[in-house]
Structure 1
């Protein structure tokens, strides 16, 4: 009986602790979204009582995660009729933590360091020694990239509180486990643990397209929109899905693999090892492979050169891009028919070339969508580079560091 009583009290204590942590995180999220905000407005946004907000913000102030901002004296000639102390605003304390975000591309790793407010501190790019590496070599390379970035800004790698890593592949973000990635020669890797051993702070992983979706939601075309899809096109093809403001990852963390949906039975070989995947017709490597098969005398190594040839009237190059556009239109139509999203964002530096969002491609998509008397989803193009991917990785790491930080707040702080 005594044991049951102790167990019940322990469960109640754990439940109360979880509630406190969730409340602190909710307040932090509201402050982050607002930039600066008064306590009474936090209470309105969260539904917490003013007394609860006062307790939580006092704890966060005590531990240095937020700070008070006293408003500047009014310059109006007309004196204020408000009595008492001026309303004090709160904001995140940028110096509380430094966070690094990494985007691992085919031949480059981009590093972005943010403060706890999410403001850019510095960025750095480092060429990769090879596009695919064994896990130990990959971890050493990521350490070197972060170390170089910190040195560039006069920082130590030990100044970082967390690191977010965005890479292509099948990633279980919760377990920090990689089933397969085009950046690794190994499969089924506990990459989070391996990176933790190499780095001086916690490391958080996710599929790069998921973190693009996070970046779009926080900083880009998806701001103030809680239901949308991001499709990324670079070496491969990825997708991030945001539903009710949250990233959808699937049961195993492998959902939203748009690039590996099948568009042709026994079709072209994909880098994942299967045949007929969409990215085997649309990804950079697929376009170059097709070009070099059709023209073996002048091997091509980059898509921009192939695109210039298409623009100049090269029949072979134009046929490759035309087929890629038709395949991509089929894939987009499938997305609309399955998800019926409010918005589709086509994201990535490769979108500076219009072969995947030309009028003919979007019209082909519209013709393949189930026809109803309602507007089709808005399709927007956001052609940015690896900086934005790294910012999504850093934003994800900030969320995780925030969760760790509020867990460490003493109960009586």
Structure 2
């Protein structure tokens, strides 16, 4: 009921009962508990006209300051973080240049601590006012146990990162793959809102995928499924950063394009990947045939990845997300036409592209924390 009210901004008791298929009496009882716990409140119903006689119509709404969370996105070059209230309103945000492309757990935890300290300083809050922290980044991550089996950001493997950060901050910490957190961002705040089944394909330094089935994020049996970037598209093919060959991201990710450009262009010698991609995009738009060929080849693998998603999951919508959307991505309608050629279903789902920056990925991490904090505070309200 809390999630329904939050998702709609406000809701009357009768609308809530109908939407959740529960009795009006049950809604009244649960609402009383949540009001007593300071989690929701009554407001004048904005959807109904006030009559002259009788009590004005009321609706239920979330108390924004009932709890607060932090969402953090860790990236290859620049980290981002936000602090939000219980309805997801951003109260503070910050960013930090990454220490190195790959670092130890200790160094990564230090970077996380700096982000949290800056958010608390900007917002004027203390860590005791934070109910949960959500963290998203690339890698094989078991969300249930908070363990990082492998990540391109870390030198170590099989790291119980959630426990480490939780002990340092004295706050519950929840971690997940970055493709999952951007999918949560779309589910909570973006085009996925109101969609029961949709997929997100991320294309940046790596290639990832998130999937929502029946309104819930699907992670797989061990929380490490949907690694689209590491599905094989060519046996014995190009070397991927995971150490195997022939992975999709070895032909589509930013680092793969820069590596390919090294033989024909000077841009690969630049140290910053984002700058190198901007240079490659500029060269392509200026008519450089080598740069154009690199993007054309990558787009063929992009279509292949999208077609595999359609063939396997038949979603209502696929959202392409990441910095690459700023560069050379075919028009939505063109993508759909090309995907249709590779699938049995010749009426493929809607495909849209979002060029999101790091702060929106951090919003996805905040949604991860909000979900966990909501479970905790609503459960506590019924003790």
Write the distance in 2 (CA, Å) between the matches of 1:285 and 1:254: 23
1:333 pairs with one of 278, 291, 307: 307
Unmatched 5+ residue regions in structure 1?
A: 1-26
Write the distance in 2 (CA, Å) between the matches of 1:356 and 1:261: 22
2:157 pairs with one of 181, 187, 190: 187
2:249 pairs with one of 279, 282, 288: 279
Write the distance in 2 (CA, Å) between the matches of 1:119 and 1:297: 40
**1:62 paired to 2:36:** yes
Superposition deviation, residue 124 in structure 1: 1.0
SS in 1 for 2:136: strand
Write the distance in 2 (CA, Å) between the matches of 1:257 and 1:242: 14
Larger radius of gyration: 1
- Pair 1:297–1:386, CA change in 2 (3 A): closer
Unmatched 5+ residue regions in structure 2?
A: none
Partner of 2:204: 234
Write the distance in 2 (CA, Å) between the matches of 1:408 and 1:401: 10
Superposition deviation, residue 49 in structure 1: 2.0
Q: Is the 8 A contact 1:292 1:300 kept in 2?
A: no
Q: Is the 8 A contact 1:103 1:389 kept in 2?
A: yes
Superposition deviation, residue 360 in structure 1: 6.0
Partner of 1:392: 364
Partner of 2:228: 258
SS in 1 for 2:118: helix
SS in 2 for 1:67: strand
- List structure 1 segments (4+ residues) > 3 angstroms apart after TM superposition: 293-298, 355-364
Q: Is the 8 A contact 2:43 2:61 kept in 1?
A: yes
Superposition deviation, residue 203 in structure 1: 0.8
- Pair 1:377–1:190, CA change in 2 (3 A): same
**1:80 paired to 2:51:** yes
1:167 pairs with one of 114, 133, 137: 137
Write the distance in 2 (CA, Å) between the matches of 1:127 and 1:242: 31
Q: Is the 8 A contact 2:101 2:153 kept in 1?
A: yes
Write the distance in 1 (CA, Å) between the matches of 2:303 and 2:51: 60
RMSD of aligned Cα (Å): 2.1
Superposition deviation, residue 314 in structure 1: 2.0
* TM-score of the superposed pair, with normalisation by structure 1: 0.86
Write the distance in 2 (CA, Å) between the matches of 1:307 and 1:188: 37
- Pair 1:282–1:297, CA change in 2 (3 A): closer
Write the distance in 1 (CA, Å) between the matches of 2:44 and 2:250: 57
Partner of 2:166: 196
* TM-score of the superposed pair, with normalisation by structure 2: 0.93
